[in-house]
Amino acid sequence: MHPRRPDGFDGLGYRGGARDDQGFGGTFPARSFSSGSDLGHWVTTPPDIPGSRNLHWGEKSPPYGVPSASTPYEGPAEEPFSGGGGGGVQGQSSEQLNRFAGFGIGLASLFTENVLAHPCIVLRRQCQVNYHARHYHLTPFTVINIMYSFNKTQGPRALWKGMGSTFIVQGITLGAEGIISEFTPLPREVLHKWNPKQIGEHILLKSLTYMVAMPFYSASLIETVQSEIIRDNTGILECVKEGIGRVIGMGVPHSKRLLPLLSLVFPTVLHGVLHYIISSVIQKFVLLILKRKTYNSHLAESTSPVQSMLDAYFPELIANFAASLCSDVILYPLETVLHRLHIQGTRTIIDNTDLGYEVLPINTQYEGMRDCINTIRQEEGVLGFYKGFGAVIIQYTLHAAVLQITKIIYSTLLQNSI
């Protein structure tokens, strides 16, 4: 239940210099975001579910790493439009390129996280809940082989199932967080000058959000691991129907091994809160390092105009990438336990991840989180908590490659326009 969507990328909101900020009360005077002290107020929080972001009304991310007027560096200035000369037209063209490039960079990252990486998420979850499996798929090589087998026997839909439900869960999570924060004093974000009470209230808001989204997340999990061989053509809102049915005790009949939602609250909230905290800490740490690196390079007068423009977009993407990767790796064993508890008793039929064909039932009988941990450690060993880890390697390798390709394309466009 965690993001992996870059924060603060509103695409057309980036500028190379100062701009006016619109708030609830009116127009504020233009201010420059180039100084190191101002940047600290604009460190955004990382997402809490795959593909989500913490939205705030009127919030836009400022340019990152653009040197101030006192800095020796002189980059391409934004010139006013002039009807009689070509300089204004060139400045306006450069500005438009920057705006659409920022939108394209953010869009490429979101597309990678939510669409291209979905087959990795599907196989990763199937391996996690498959207690029968003898092959743990800890490396990307075996994962690619089993992906090919699934695609050959069941078609491409076997690797893209449940993608619509993941978007629905993201929407429910964002909506629940917004509604709860509107009707309660719980803050959606932590201010720069925070205190322990504010941190506690913010974590409480996240916990309540995870509790609201929990039944729908469980239904989405079932859609992503259910075998395509016996799967019916369900509608895109099926996870909403199943989530509501799980809450009120109606819908598809489940077995007696189904764990009540109350017993799933603690592991679900624990995983979500830990993922959010780890992501926040790592994101701010990486942004701090990149900010210092950019500042030192500007002082040394070694920054080219192209590199200076790249510094306005990519540090936040890199920070979010590192935060999501580290939190997923650290919490992977807990995620395995969480998914097994959610899937138990739902009469779900999954694919055989050892052979690439045939199907297997889920017949676990865990009594709770502690029993699940002890059973996995005794019957499958410590590596049993890391089943399907090779899919995580492929997922983030693909994401890093897309970011690098996007950076190369953007650099080429900037060099041609300067």
Q: Is the pLDDT of residue 39 over 90?
A: no
The secondary element (H helix, E strand) that includes residue 350 is strand 349-351
Token output for 332: 């992977």
Specify if 76 maps to a domain: no
Distances (CA, A) of 162 to 155, 234, 388: 15, 10, 18
Specify if 224 maps to a domain: yes
Q: How far apart are CA 70 and CA 117, in angstroms?
A: 43
Specify if 61 maps to a domain: no
Token output for 137: 């798929």
| Whole-structure pTM value | 0.74
Q: How far apart are CA 157 and CA 279, in angstroms?
A: 31
Burial (CB count within 10 angstroms: exposed 0-12, middle 13-18, buried 19+), residue 17: middle
* Tally of structural domains, the chain: 1
Rounded to 5°, the CA angle 29-186-321 comes to 70
Q: Which one, of 3, 39, 2, 44, lies nearest residue 283 by Cα?
A: 44
Maximum average pLDDT range among 8-22, 38-52, 148-162, 224-238? 148-162
Specify if 151 maps to a domain: yes
Write down the mean pLDDT value for the chain: 78
Least confident of 1-10, 43-52, 127-136, 224-233: 43-52
Query: Would you place residue 147 in the very low, low, confident or very high pLDDT band (cuts 50, 70, 90)?
Result: very high
Burial (CB count within 10 angstroms: exposed 0-12, middle 13-18, buried 19+), residue 81: exposed
Q: What range does the domain containing 262 cover?
A: 103-416
302: domain CATH number is: 1.50.40
Instruction: With beta carbons less than 8 A apart as the criterion, state whether 163 and 118 touch.
Output: yes
Percent of the chain's residues with pLDDT above 90: 44
Query: Would you place residue 90 in the very low, low, confident or very high pLDDT band (cuts 50, 70, 90)?
Result: low
- Is the model more confident about 87 or about 233? 233
Query: Would you place residue 214 in the very low, low, confident or very high pLDDT band (cuts 50, 70, 90)?
Result: very high
- Over residues 5-11, the mean pLDDT reads 44
Least confident of 46-60, 219-233, 289-303, 325-339: 46-60
Specify if 152 maps to a domain: yes
Helix and strand numbers (H, E) in the chain are: 14, 2
Specify if 27 maps to a domain: no
- Over residues 372-401, the mean pLDDT reads 95
Q: Is the pLDDT of residue 65 over 50?
A: no
CA distance between the termini of the chain: 43
Start-end of H helices in 71-139: 87-111, 118-129
Q: pLDDT per residue over 183-201, tens digit each? A: 999 999 887 777 889 999 9
Specify if 321 maps to a domain: yes
pLDDT of residue 417: 67
